[in-house]
């Protein structure tokens, strides 16, 4: 059973959050993955993998009624590797699961020897307009 190989570039808004010491930090990125996609013939099932870069739009922390802008303390981008799978149902409905493994230390102020990296897991439901 031979499948098909495609290159799938994307662009999307990505919100990631982290909780620490009673505060919640929200990071908003414009993310651009470029994925290699292997589709298994006549199954609707595909595997995806490739690099992803996120451009920081905003970063804020809230805790104890206080809000703080974190953007000046963070790198302007977040580079990672994305891995996932998707299943295309009849009539164009697509279910997707993906993990993005962060490689960039996003914090400019991190103590030497430590690292702050963002990784995320995504579930998505979409619609495909044609093949």
119 in Cβ contact with 82 (< 8 Å):
no
Which residues lie closer than 8 Å to 66 by C-beta, 6 or more apart? none
pLDDT at 1 over 70: no
Measure the CA–CA gap between 61 and 34, rounded to whole angstroms: 30
At residue 105's C-alpha, the angle toward residues 112 and 22, to 5°, is 90
Name the residue ranges covered by the structural domains of the chain. Answer: 4-127
Q: Which two tokens stand for residue 100?
A: 């993005």
Q: What is the pLDDT of residue 128?
A: 84
Q: Which pLDDT tens digit goes with each residue over 70-128?
A: 899 889 999 999 999 999 998 899 999 999 999 998 888 766 666 788 888 999 999 88
40 in Cβ contact with 80 (< 8 Å):
no
**4-127 has CATH 2.40.160 classification:** yes
Q: What is the pLDDT of residue 80?
A: 95
What does pTM read for this prediction? 0.82
102 in Cβ contact with 115 (< 8 Å):
no
Q: Which pLDDT tens digit goes with each residue over 21-47?
A: 788 989 999 999 999 999 999 899 999
């Amino acid at each position: 059973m031979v499948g098909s190989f495609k290159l799938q570039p994307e662009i999307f808004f990505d919100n990631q959050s982290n909780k620490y010491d009673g505060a919640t930090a929200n990071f908003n990125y414009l993310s651009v993955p470029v994925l290699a996609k292997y589709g298994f013939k006549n199954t609707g099932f595909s595997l995806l993998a490739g690099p992803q870069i996120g451009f920081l739009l905003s970063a804020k922390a809230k805790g104890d009624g206080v809000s703080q802008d974190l953007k000046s303390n963070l790198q302007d981008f977040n580079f990672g590797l994305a891995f996932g799978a998707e299943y295309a149902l009849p009539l164009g409905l697509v279910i997707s699961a993906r993990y993005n493994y962060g490689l960039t230390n996003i914090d400019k102020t991190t103590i030497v020897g430590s690292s702050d990296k963002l990784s995320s897991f995504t579930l998505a439901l979409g619609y495909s307009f044609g093949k």
